[in-house]
Structure formats: C-alpha cells, structure tokens
Amino acid sequence: MVSQASGPQWGTDEVCEMQVPLASGESPSALDMSPQQEDPLRCIRACCTCRPQAEAQKLSFLASICTICEAALEDSGAHYRLCVCPLEVAQCIEELLQEEPAERLDTELRQQAMSAIAAMSRAWLLPEERKSSLLRACLSSVLHLPHYKDDTDRDAALYMETMEALHRLLQELVGSAGTSVLMELQNILELLLPFTTCQPAAVEERAMACIARLLAFCNTCPLPEVCSCFTGAVVLRHQCTENQRFPVLGKLTGQLILCCTSTDEGTRDEAMKAVRQLFIFIASQRMWMWQKDPKKPQLRERWQTLFYEQVSQENNARKIFRMFLKYLQYPERVSIFLMAIESMTVPSLHSTELAAHIVNVLAAEAHFPPGQVQKIVKVIYSSLPSIKVQSALESLGRALLVLASKYPREMVSSLLGCSPTCTRSAVQSLKVLLCSVGLQKQMEAVQEQGGWDALLSTVTHLQGVQVVARVMRELPGALRDPIFHQLVELLSTKFCSWEMVAMVFLVEMLECVDLSEELHRVVSLFGTYLQSQSVGTQQLVLRGILQLSQRQDTARKMLGLLPCITEQLQDADSGARAVALPVLSTLLRLLERGKLSLVALELASNLPALFEDESGTVRQLSIHLFLDTLSFVEGREKRKMRKEVYRSLVPLYLHLHDEEESVAK
C-alpha cells in the first residue's frame, strides 16, 4: 500500500503514538489525560497484551480505538499516547475478524471492526504495511457471510448494516487518501477482484457490488487527473506522476465485462452497474482536457450528453467492450486479452463466446510490443489443456496465427521458452498453430509417422524433429522458405540454446529450398558449427555439407570448408569421421588439378591415423580415400607421396586380416 499524502508515519518498532503539536502557552501539565480518556487507553493496552475472549471485551476494545482516534482529531490541543505499537492494534483487529464464524452473523463485531479501521485511517494511525492484510481480512469476513433471503429476519437486517459498514469503510479509505486517491482506489480494487471469480455466487455478487458502489463514489469526488496515456488522448510533453497512473485498469475492465455474462443474475446486474461507473470514470478523464479548452464548450456538452445516454442504455457486453476500446491503450488491452484467455478455462462462469470475441478483436489488431508477445503465448500455452469449447480453441488458433505472422521470432522463442522439454501442452500448442494456418493435413501426417509422440521423449526427441521437418519439406515454397529463413536467423544468434534442434530441422530442409539468397549464410553457419563442442552438431553439419556437395548449384561453395573439415578429422569421433570422409572424397573431385595435388598430399598424411579407428566403416572409408589420393597427386608432389605410402604399408598390411571383411579386401 502507498503512504498517505501527509500525517505522522509509524515504524514497525515504534511505540504507537498519536501526537498533536502543543498549542502556544500551554504547559505539559495542562495536557494530562482525563479519566474518561484514560479508560479507553487502558482497555486497548490490555487487549493488545492479552487477546479478548468475551464478546463484550472485543466490542469494548474496538469502541475504545474509535474513541481515542476521534478525540485526537477533535481536540487539537490534546496529546494522547496509545502505548502500544500500531501494528499490534491492527493485528489484533485482524485476528478478531478472522475468528468470527463465517457461517453466521449474530453480533455487530464486524461493523465495529470496520469502524475502528476507518477511525485509525482518519487519525493517521493505520500502518501502511498492515493495511492490505487488514482490509483483506475485512473483505473475506464480510463477503463470505451466508446469503439471507428473508428480509424480515434479524440476521438479514444485521447483514445489510454490515455490508453498508463495508461500503463506508472503502469510501472512507479512498476519500481520505488526499493526492494518493487513485493509488488507494487501485489497491482496494486489487483486493476485491479475486472475490469476483471462482467464488460462490453470493460472494461474487457482493464483491461486484462493492466495486460498483466504490466507483460510483469516486465519480462524485474530485479526483486528480489520470495520466492521458491510458485515455487515448495525445498530450505532448505531459508528465506522468505515480499518483496519476492507474495500471489496474486493464485487469479491472476485462473482469467487469466478462462478469456481465455471468451465469448468476445478481452478479450480472452488479457487473453491469460497475461497468457503467467505470466507463464514466474513464471517459471523464478525457473531458478534463476539453474543460481546459475554451474553444470547445459546446462540443464537450454535446458529447457528454450523448455519452451518458449511450452508457446508461447499453446492455450488450460485446458493444460495451467496443466502447471501452476507444479509451484503452496496449497495456490495458494486453491485460484484457490475458483475462479473456484465462476465463476460457472455466466456461461455466462466463460466456466463452464473449471471451472468444474479445480474443478475436484484440488479436486482429496485434499492435502489442514484442515483449508482451511472450507473456501472451505463455498464457495461451498454459491454458490450452484446460480449454474444451471449440469456439475458444478456434479463437486462440487465430490469435497464434496472427502473432506468428507478425512476430515469428518472438513466437518461436516463446513456445520454446514455455516448454524446454517439449511437454504435451507444447505439442498441443504446435498442433493448434499448424491447424490454425490451414496445415491440418501436415499435422495429421506427423501424427501418422509417430512424430508427436517421439517429441515427448528425450531419447527420440530429435527423431520427432526430423519427422516434423520432413513433413514441412512438402509445403509450397511460399511457406517453406520463410521457415528455412527463420532457422538460419535462429542459428545466427550468438548464443543459440536450441542449436541441435534447429540444425536437425535445417539439414532436413536443405534439399528442397532455394538457396540462392541464403547459401552464403548457410556456408558461414556450417563453418562456425563445425567448431561446436557438441559431437551431434558436428555430425549434422557434415551431413548438411555432404548434401550440398552433391548438388550441382552448391557443390563448389563447399570447397571453402575443406581446411576446416580436414582439421576436425583428427579430433572427431567415429560417427563424425564416417560422415566427413565421404564429404572429403566428394569435394576433392571438385578441385582444380594443381590445388587437388596439394590437398591430396596433405590429406594422405592424415589418413593413416584413421586406419586404427574402432569403427569398421571409418577404417574402410579412410583406406579407400587414401588410395584415391594416390591418383590425385602430380608433379613434384609424387616424390613426397611415396614417403607417405612407405609409411602406410605396415598398417595396411596388418589390416589384411582385419575382422571386418570389407576392410581386409
């Protein structure tokens, strides 16, 4: 909670002391407390030391707090000391409220507790650090009371008085907040909103009534100007101060509009009242600018008249939502978007059709900052498993489509960030994303090949990625090429935590994409990732190089990677060597004769070390390549080649009896 604008502030360890400055000419002796004043203090001290148990003691304690606080405000020359910490007083009130049985209302204790809280607030004795928990205890104690149908019942009358006391308390807290009134209002609304959803119908109706009454009260009070940033108005060089901001607006608007379609009639009615009061509150913030413009008095009056007619007659939640959009900017729209998505998970509370409509409208605009996209995708991802209504799933599918088309990088990274281990929810999100862009056949093809199930296992995850990539290869070029481009972009980042997955996907798509624009970047990526510490990544890169070396339009571009491949040959594992040797064999044949002779000689000096590899395939391939290099050497390099041959004769002779028949041959 925010500190009030003025008045003494109490620390957590200070003695609770309400002190008013001495009047001139008065001596300390004149300030001695009367017996009437001393009795309430004695009662408060006693109750804070030992919690009261009897009902009469509790009521006396609360009445004493009111007496002391009111006396301090009325007598400016008085000097009273409340000889306990204000935190202890607040805690004692909170405990009394929590002890009250929720199933019945047979005393005025709740009313007296709220009166004591209001009195402490007026006397600047209510500790800010305790205010929220104290008010939450009040709301929980009152809003969860039983529902009284018989108005003639004594308990029903007591209930009505208790609810009125709660309304007065909330209005008192806002009305006495001074320049911090908007901050106080926001704090109260933040506490009330959780009581408006997933609660018994009576609780939701009462909480909504509190919001409606509080907003109506605020609309009759002079309020500081809310920052024009959220009203849709453009004011150059304006200054935002903390007490002019109202960040709860989006959450509040979304919840009130959704509650207008509540399955409970009482909640619907109260929500509609609250929506109208909120609309008046928001629109009035625009009017203050017109009031400063003497040239527009008639326009202001005419607009105000039309506005009140419109808001008082409108009962359609969709139209009300459209009316609000005129005054809400992207932070509030994001909040409404998220609330609509979350409400889809509990379709019994509100209209899922309205939530889907809100998502459709806001997603179609999609003017969200990139930083907000991740938050939206995360909520969609976490909500999908709980959403069963088809219209809701379709609206989220369209939202994912729009976000993916406008923010592809943020969309992909958000999905990966939501589920680094690829859970069933992540797979479900990917399925929805594919279906939403018209790729249901591809989604089903992945399913038939076992790709989705493979993604869920750490053992078969990369196989699942391969299945998805192979299915995506069949897409039209207009859809396939952007996927490949995004993979190149992702792998080009300095720290790519998804290099293995992205590289699997990229290598699978190499043979079917037009590389005329991306070839240079792909070759550069391959050169970088050949140096990777991941053996699996090295093997993938070598497979990619092998594919491109066998294509007529890209083969010669791979020659620049020859030195890097040759260098990696000595340190690579058997799997990487088994791929690298065919690559070298293919690339050697693309070299011009002079260059070929030099490279073949260098390679021949490195190959004998591979004759002893544990893999029979590597031994066989290295011997074949060694024999090929003999025919590639010309001129002066032949003499040097003889030395390499003599050095290799013994190892080759020993392999005449190799356990692998293909190697022995």
In tens, the pLDDT along 411-426 reads: 767 776 776 667 776 7
Higher pLDDT, 117 or 430: 117
CA atoms within 13 A on the CB side of 295: 0
Separation CA 51–CA 33 (nearest Å): 25
Higher pLDDT, 429 or 176: 176
Average per-residue pLDDT for the chain? 78
Top mean pLDDT of 68-72, 203-207, 310-314, 609-613 is at: 203-207
Q: Give the pLDDT band of residue 4 (cuts 50, 70, 90).
A: very low
% the chain with pLDDT above 90: 22
In the prediction, which pLDDT does 85 show?
A: 73
In the prediction, which pLDDT does 192 show?
A: 95
Q: Give the pLDDT band of residue 136 (cuts 50, 70, 90).
A: very high
In the prediction, which pLDDT does 461 show?
A: 87
Top mean pLDDT of 22-31, 96-105, 223-232, 633-642 is at: 96-105
Please state the separation of Cα 220 from the chain's center in Å.
Answer: 36
Nearest to 416 by CA among 475, 493, 473: 493
In the prediction, which pLDDT does 169 show?
A: 94
Nearest to 202 by CA among 153, 151, 147, 155: 147
Contact 585, 607 (CB under 8 A): no
Q: Give the pLDDT band of residue 215 (cuts 50, 70, 90).
A: very high
Separation CA 397–CA 380 (nearest Å): 10
Higher pLDDT, 602 or 24: 602
Top mean pLDDT of 15-24, 86-95, 325-334, 647-656 is at: 86-95
In the prediction, which pLDDT does 78 show?
A: 46
Contact 417, 374 (CB under 8 A): yes
Classify the C-alpha dihedral 472-473-474-477 as positive or negative. Answer: positive
In this structure, what token pair is assigned to residue 640? 């040097």
pLDDT of 204 over the 90 cut: yes
> What value does the mean pLDDT take over residues 365-370?
77
- Please measure the distance between the N-terminal and C-terminal CA atoms of the chain and give it in whole angstroms: 85
Higher pLDDT, 39 or 227: 39
> What value does the mean pLDDT take over residues 132-137?
93
> What value does the mean pLDDT take over residues 161-186?
88
In the prediction, which pLDDT does 298 show?
A: 53
pLDDT of 405 over the 60 cut: yes
pLDDT of 627 over the 70 cut: yes
> What value does the mean pLDDT take over residues 180-202?
90
Separation CA 587–CA 143 (nearest Å): 79
Top mean pLDDT of 321-325, 341-345, 601-605, 655-659 is at: 341-345
Contact 162, 111 (CB under 8 A): yes
Contact 208, 271 (CB under 8 A): yes
In the prediction, which pLDDT does 128 show?
A: 86
Beta bridge partners of 79: 19
> What value does the mean pLDDT take over residues 611-634?
78
Separation CA 518–CA 484 (nearest Å): 9
Higher pLDDT, 531 or 78: 531
User: Rounded to 5 degrees, what angle do the CA atoms 552, 557, 559 make?
Assistant: 105
Nearest to 132 by CA among 196, 97, 184: 184
Of the given ranges (38-52, 305-319, 344-358, 455-469), which has the lowest mean pLDDT? 305-319
pLDDT of 235 over the 70 cut: no
Q: Give the pLDDT band of residue 289 (cuts 50, 70, 90).
A: low
In the prediction, which pLDDT does 652 show?
A: 58
> What value does the mean pLDDT take over residues 198-222?
90
The answer for residues whose C-beta is within 8 angstroms of residue 11's C-beta and 6 or more apart is: none
Residue ranges per domain, the chain? Answer: 1-175
In the prediction, which pLDDT does 653 show?
A: 55
Q: Give the pLDDT band of residue 107 (cuts 50, 70, 90).
A: confident
Exposure string (b/e) for 573-609, b if CB count within 10 Å is 16 or more?
eebbbbbbbbbbbbbbeebeeeebbebbbbbbebbbe
Top mean pLDDT of 196-200, 208-212, 487-491, 542-546 is at: 208-212
pLDDT of 212 over the 90 cut: yes
Please state the separation of Cα 264 from the chain's center in Å.
Answer: 30
Q: Give the pLDDT band of residue 501 (cuts 50, 70, 90).
A: confident
Of the given ranges (74-78, 271-275, 467-471), which has the lowest mean pLDDT? 74-78
Please state the separation of Cα 651 from the chain's center in Å.
Answer: 63
User: 400 vs 163, 320, 423, 424, 508, CA distance in Å?
Assistant: 44, 25, 18, 17, 25
In the prediction, which pLDDT does 77 show?
A: 46
Higher pLDDT, 571 or 77: 571
In the prediction, which pLDDT does 654 show?
A: 55
Amino acid present at 292: K
Q: Rounded to two decimals, what is the model's pTM?
A: 0.64
> How many other C-beta atoms can be found within 10 angstroms of the C-beta atom of residue 545?
30
Give me the residue label for tokens 């409108």: 314
In the prediction, which pLDDT does 368 show?
A: 80
> CA Rg, the chain, in Å?
38
pLDDT of 316 over the 60 cut: yes
Q: Give the pLDDT band of residue 112 (cuts 50, 70, 90).
A: very high
User: 434 vs 171, 214, 429, CA distance in Å?
Assistant: 51, 46, 9
pLDDT digits (tens, 9 = 90+) for 248-259: 888 999 999 999
> What value does the mean pLDDT take over residues 157-162?
87
> What value does the mean pLDDT take over residues 340-360?
85
Q: Give the pLDDT band of residue 661 (cuts 50, 70, 90).
A: low
Q: Give the pLDDT band of residue 290 (cuts 50, 70, 90).
A: low
pLDDT of 206 over the 90 cut: yes
pLDDT of 602 over the 90 cut: no
